[in-house]
Amino acid sequence: MTETRSPHRLGIALVVAAAIAWSTAPFFTRLLPYDSWTILFWRGLFAGGMIMVLMVLLQGRASLRDLVRIDINGWLVASFSTLAMIAFIPALQLTDVSNVAIIIATGPFLAAGLAWIWLKEIPSRRTMLASAVALVGVVIIVGGARAGSDILGVALACFMALAIAAMTVMVRRHRNTPMIAAAALSNFLGSAISLPFAHGITAITGFDLLILAMFGCLQVALGLTLFFLGSRLLPSGQAALISTLETPLMPFWIWVGFGEFPTLRVLAGGALVMGAVIADIIGDIRTQRPSG
């Protein structure tokens, strides 16, 4: 029983850490006065390079061969990750941020549904209830924003959420595939796709290049690596649920970096999201506790 519980708890810790890393995105974005495609280009280069460094540290130099020997499953995961990153930018440009945030918060339900269809992995009622509470929390957080109605933007946000859910399930399904290598490839692909649309590549200053390096290494590379490692060890719905911690943590970094105190609505919604995730984790630990 201990052998079963330890990897599961490690998976929880890794995905929680991934959500914390991902939540720093608004902080870094606020520091960069460039168009989204320029940021995505440089961020992808730094993130891909950092993931390669993490591969060597975690698995040795031989792991770099995975970049050229990656199979179709790894390419699919990399493609889903790239599509999600690319769709995120125009989705924010074409519809309101509140629409995008709420659609992303449906991720646990999408991941659980795909896992049930593909892996016959039946989600627990506890996780589904916690996901519903987390969704309500996200709605409260963004509820004060102006509601947008652009169909294309909403469609891109839905596509992004589905791509993330599919990526999560594939990582869970193909545990022996070198997914960290897939994470590196996804960032390099994102940079290549962003290149034709990036207008400020040569205007980057030395200080901004440092910020972009931190953005790519900490927010993307560390976040993706931790998520890919952790989601192998968890049911897909639970991994997606824990990743929703990203939403309530985003205002925290803005408060730390820029002194903008979160509104009461953001605090209340964030408390719901964090409470739902914590309750699911505690319930999961109690369920797996040995009877003896």
pLDDT in tens, 241-250: 898 888 888 8
- Of 122 and 185, more confident: 185
- Give the Cα separation of 265 and 137 in Å (integer): 9
Confidence of residue 144 (pLDDT cuts 50, 70, 90): low
| Of the candidate ranges 55-64, 132-141, 217-226, 283-292, the one whose mean pLDDT is the lowest | 283-292
pLDDT > 70 in the chain, percent: 92
Q: Which residue has the tokens 């950092």?
A: 50
Q: What is the pLDDT of residue 291?
A: 44
Per-residue pLDDT, 94: 74
Residue 1 pLDDT class (50, 70, 90 cuts)? very low
Minimum mean pLDDT among 100-104, 109-113, 194-198: which range? Answer: 100-104
What is this structure's pTM?
0.81
Q: Residues with Cβ < 8 Å from 10, sequence gap 6 or more?
A: 230, 233
pLDDT band at 79 (very low <50, low <70, confident <90, very high): very high
Token pair for 143: 């509820």
Average pLDDT taken over every residue of the chain: 84
Average pLDDT, integer, range 266-284:
85
Question: Residue 236's CB: how many other CB atoms inside 10 A?
Answer: 31
